[in-house]
Amino acid sequence: MTHRPRLGRAAVVASILVLALSAGPVAAAKPAGAGGGGKPGYPDRLTWSGFEWQVKTSTSAVGPGPNVFSKENVTVDAATDSLTLQIAFRNGKWTAAEIIGPQRGYGTYTFTVESNVSSLDPNVVLGLFTWSDRARFAHREIDIEVARWGEVGGTTNAQFVVQPWDVAGHLERYSISTSGPTVHSFAWQPTRVDFLSAGESWAYTGSGIPPSQDERIRINLWLFGGRAPMDGNGVVVRLSSFTFTPG
């Protein structure tokens, strides 16, 4: 889930939007129908946008990053059903956030982000993607990533990817300039993937499209290389919804 782009493509550093809201706790629960099972080892679950999600936690640094992932960095506002992900300094270390949703397969995945992600710190990555724990077909990973990969300066701050990212033609860099909210989607079909993000679009029609099988929806907010934010501040990103349309 670490996808470093070609060098010389990034955007200038800007301030980070910090949002405060009233959030309900993450609860441990058995799988619900919307969750469709889940990944072993992550008992904490939440319901958001009509789906059940597992919350990734770790006591040591793991991928992507590597980062330490904390359930304290994931909350859902009971009144608005908005999801908040944080990068926060906890107990002497920087911690990241990730949630794991159900398997849905071919169709359109749409994420609405309330926060201003055009100005994320150069070391911060927001990932909207599918992922399989099995390595075949490049983990069946399709990504929208808002990231500068630690680079200061440049003209882009995001990318579309059909993994593997380092194969020619599998990655398209672009820039998000609007302050938000922004809508990000990819329509995954057996013969093409159509991306749309903050008004930018790209169609991948190459031979590397993964077949759907056991991948799940994931959303994460993490630090590239596990490095602290360059400005030394925590990060908050809020999403208002996720939808899936089969087809």
Main-chain dihedrals φ then ψ at residue 153, nearest 5 degrees? 95, 160
Predicted local confidence at residue 38, as pLDDT: 72
Kindly list the domain boundaries of the chain, sorted by start residue: 27-246
pTM of this prediction?
Answer: 0.86
Torsion angle of C-alpha atoms 17, 176, 126, 29, degrees rounded to 10:
80
Predicted local confidence at residue 154, as pLDDT: 78
| Chain center to CA of 152 | 21
* CA gap 80, 23 in Å, rounded: 10
* CA gap 100, 119 in Å, rounded: 25
The per-residue pLDDT for range 6-27, each reduced to its tens digit, is: 333 333 233 333 333 334 444 4
* CA gap 86, 98 in Å, rounded: 9
What beta strand segments (E) does 42-199 contain?
Answer: 44-48, 51-55, 68-69, 74-76, 83-90, 93-100, 107-113, 124-131, 142-147, 158-162, 171-174, 182-189, 192-197
Query: Which pLDDT band holds residue 141 (cuts at 50, 70, 90)?
Result: very high
Q: What CATH number does domain 27-246 carry, 3.90.105.10, 3.40.50.10470, 2.40.33.20, 2.60.120.200?
A: 2.60.120.200
